[in-house]
Every structure is written in structure tokens, then in C-alpha cells.
Amino acid sequence: MEERIVAELRSLRARPAPATLLPAVLERVGLADRYWREESAVGPLFVAFSERGISAVVPALRGEAAFEREHFERFHRRVYAGLPPRGTAQAVARRLAGDRRARVRFDLRGCGEFQRAVLEKALEIPLGEVRPYGWVAREIGRPQAVRAVGSALGGNPVPLLVPCHRVVRTDGSLGEYALGSSAKRLLLEGEGVDVLELERLARCGERFVGSDTTHVYCLPSCVHARRISGSHRVAFSNARAAALAEYRPCRHCRPAPAA
């Protein structure tokens, strides 16, 4: 009997381990992610995930091998093709389509406290609206960290799902985007943002729009600003000018700290 057991154990040692064993073990101990391919308005994406949530969103233009290599270089975790947990792919597809009610968890282990705060604030920007970098900096309590906000958004590991494309320059112009300026324009236009009007206002130096009936001023893309008819629109170059005209900031878009 003992000899038979020993023989069986030796035979196990001679057999190669299943190809799925290493990925499963690495994933279980947090040293590997899985990914799937997802379609979006800007083309196909690779969406990586772990047990904690979505860990990366990357354009699928360069193929699987390049994505797997670059994922390891950035996060120091291997990534393998695999099916997402039940409901995750549907939630991601809904979020990509603009449904903010779709609940998506994120794995942001590689992000510091400041970057997490920036990304969480970007999540609050409504579909069809934009906010300047300075707005994000002020909202997280770091009003002088405008450049740092730009860097944090530029390193967003989960673009599109965390809508960093909705953050623009202080003057209202679109600015840069990790997936390219044309993708940023396409995404914003698809969400209903009047990009041409934003660019016109930026060229004219008009940063805020007020209503002479309510004496409230907003950021130009604010849902309330879009309801102001032409005859009642008042443009302001800065918050001080609006305050001197006795206009108060909108509570929805919060263009400046409320008095």
C-alpha cells in the first residue's frame, strides 16, 4: 500500500501543472489581474479587474501582448484574459454609456491619497458638463494644486469610467487628455456638451454665465446655464466681477466658493 502511494506521488510530480493554476494563484494573492475586451465610443478597450474592482482601462489598439506587458510595467501585476464577475461587464458598459447609477468598484492600489481625492471628485462631474482643473483643486481643499490635479488626472488608470475628460483648462478650453484631444472632443460632444461654444467663450475670456432674472452665475456647461435665454444672459470674466454685480454662485456647479 505504501509503495503504491509513493508511486502515485511521484507520478504527480512528473505531470505538468494546469495552465490555469499559476494565474489563479497569483490572482488570489493579489499579484495578477484579469481583463476583457469592451467596445466604447472611442474604440475597443481592454478593461482589467481584480477582486477589488476595475484596475485599468486602456485602448486595445496595440494588441493583447503589448497591453499585458505594459500593465505589468505599470502596476507590477501580471494580467490574463478572463471573464469578469457576473454583472461587472454590464455595469461597465452602462457607465461607458453615461449611466451614473451603474455601480462600478475600482482597484486604485497604485494611486496615492491626493490622486484618489482628485479621481473621486471627477466622478461627481455630471454627464454633459465640464469643470476646470482649478475647480477640482478647490473642491478637494487644495486650491493651489492646479498643476498637480492635471498630473493626477493624466495618470488616471481608469479613464472613461472616471470621467477625467470632463475636466478642462481654467479658461474653459478643452486642454489635454490621456486618450488624445480628438477623443476628448468626441466624448464631450457625445454627452451633449457644446464644445464649439466652450471654445468661443474661452477665446473671448468669458468664464461664467449669469442670469439677470435670478442673479445667479454658473460655469458655461452647467445645466442651469444652458436654460438661460439669450436676452437674459450676462457674461463674466471672473468671480470678482460677478460678485461686484451682486450675482451669487450657482449651488449646482459651484463656480466659486459661496459667501
- 164 an active-site residue? yes
- Average pLDDT of the chain is 90
Tell me the per-residue pLDDT of 182-233, one tens digit each, with 9 for 90 and over. Answer: 999 999 999 999 999 999 999 999 999 999 999 999 999 999 999 999 899 9
Residues 202 and 208: their CA atoms lie apart, in Å, by 10
76 phi-psi bin (left φ>0, alpha ψ -120 to 50, beta other): left
Among 164, 218, 222, 250, the one annotated catalytic: 164
Q: Structure pTM?
A: 0.87
Which letter does DSSP use for residue 17 in this model? Answer: P
Question: Hey, what's the torsion of the CAs at 216, 222, 227, 230, to 10 degrees?
Answer: 80
Kindly give the confidence (pLDDT) of every residue in the chain, 259 residues in length, as a single tens digit, with 9 standing for 90 and above: 566 665 665 665 656 655 555 555 555 556 799 999 999 999 999 999 999 999 999 999 999 999 999 999 999 999 999 999 889 999 999 999 888 889 999 999 989 999 999 999 999 999 999 999 999 999 999 999 999 999 999 999 999 999 999 999 989 999 989 899 999 999 999 999 999 999 999 999 999 999 999 999 999 999 999 999 989 999 999 999 999 999 999 999 999 875 4
Q: Which helix (H) or strand (E) holds 36?
A: strand 32-38
Residue (of 197, 217, 195, 198) closest to 208 by Cα position: 217
